[in-house]
Homo-oligomer: A and B are copies of this chain.
């Protein structure tokens, strides 16, 4: 098994098999730049580029890593991504002396993760959120519209999704302010305005688009993965009471757009290759533009943790899997562009909450507590129907290899109390 000369703990998410990309700023000062996580360290790609390590690759000497986002690198396309990944993988190899034995280059290019601040990895032009977990759609549909209207008639025919708000995307670790909004409980005569009482998280995965498509030029399902750069974790914070009152007929708006957290590390498609598995059967068979000869998905474990009140430590409240998604990312890209909509480098396509059928596999409080009716019982005598002020939510996920993990690290966010308004 390939090993790095950089120390990597056995349960680390960042072995040499992973090499996820992110954007960081040294805590000691200096401009943001692109890096790769390896064990407990970050490899500064701009430092490597300045040392000529990527020549003659397309990404060499063009400043694509001296940027506050991955976007310029993303726009270069898969051949450039591959060349860079191969170079990094070689340079970090335990048997390769070029970086290992070059003390000056190591000092310039490697620094402990605790000495850097991790930023949003991309400048996201547009953020789309899908609704691709069948268990989630059925659970939520039942709670909002009753069992008979749980799955809308379109759900099994197309990957339902909506346009999210890109301005309110935030980097992992950023606190989240509880939103105020219009609330109208079913038994109230009129709405009132105040802090959301049904604040929720959503356990999601998010694909970062590498190269885009021209407007009016659909991406075929067979070509869709060519446009994929990599995968992140996404927490699509939701105010269920605001959402329930506002969402008809045009969909979620302020119930979502106060904040959506994105994990700092983007795991490239190449690192996920060993964890490809056949996708589940779709019945009815999708229309031809959504058909693949052998559709694949990825075997990724996903978990959510909560710590609040008197709890001594974060406690796991959900254990789900990327395999719960009914629609593949290739189908989502083919559908998204089928009418001519253009994707651009850095666009984010999130999955929607990923839930399984089992009670412990539900990826949001709405499902876990059946809309607040069955509060969670946690350590320290803490109960939770919805998120409370001060609560810390941590999402994590990884692929389990033989003796190593390809992981996403943690996506954390703490709930701040609402501001008095108006």
Contact = CB atoms under 8 A, between A and B. Distances in A.
B341 A168 contact: yes
Contact of A154 (B218, B246, B252): B246
Contacts of A168: 215, 340-342
Interface string A162-199: 11111110100000010111101000001111001000
Interface in A196-210: 196
A245 B154 contact: yes
Interface string A307-344: 00000000000000000000000000001101111111
A67 to B, nearest CB: 17
A288 B422 contact: yes
A257 B215 contact: no
Contacts of A160: 246, 249-250, 253
A48 to B, nearest CB: 31
Interface in A267-301: 284, 287-289
Q: Which 5 A-B pairs have the closest CB atoms?
A: A251-B251, A179-B339, A162-B250, A177-B216, A163-B163
A254 B336 contact: yes
DSSP majority for the A interface?
loop
8 contacts: A152-B249, A154-B245, A157-B190, A165-B341, A182-B287, A215-B259, A247-B250, A338-B421
Interface of A: 125-126, 131, 141, 144-145, 152, 154, 157-158, 160-168, 170, 177, 179-182, 184, 190-193, 196, 212, 215-216, 218, 220, 239, 242, 245-255, 257-259, 284, 287-289, 335-336, 338-344, 347, 419, 421-422
Nearest to A158: B182
Contacts of A242: 339
Given A131-B250, A157-B182, A340-B177, A258 B166 contact: no
Contact of A253 (B163, B165, B182, B247): B163
Identical chains in the assembly = 2
A339 B192 contact: no
A218 B421 contact: yes
B246 A158 contact: yes
B251 A250 contact: yes
Contact of A258 (B131, B181, B341): B341
Nearest to A164: B163
Given A125-B166, A167-B347, A180-B340, 15 more contacts: A125-B167, A154-B184, A154-B191, A154-B245, A157-B184, A160-B250, A161-B253, A165-B341, A167-B342, A167-B343, A181-B339, A192-B287, A258-B339, A258-B341, A338-B422
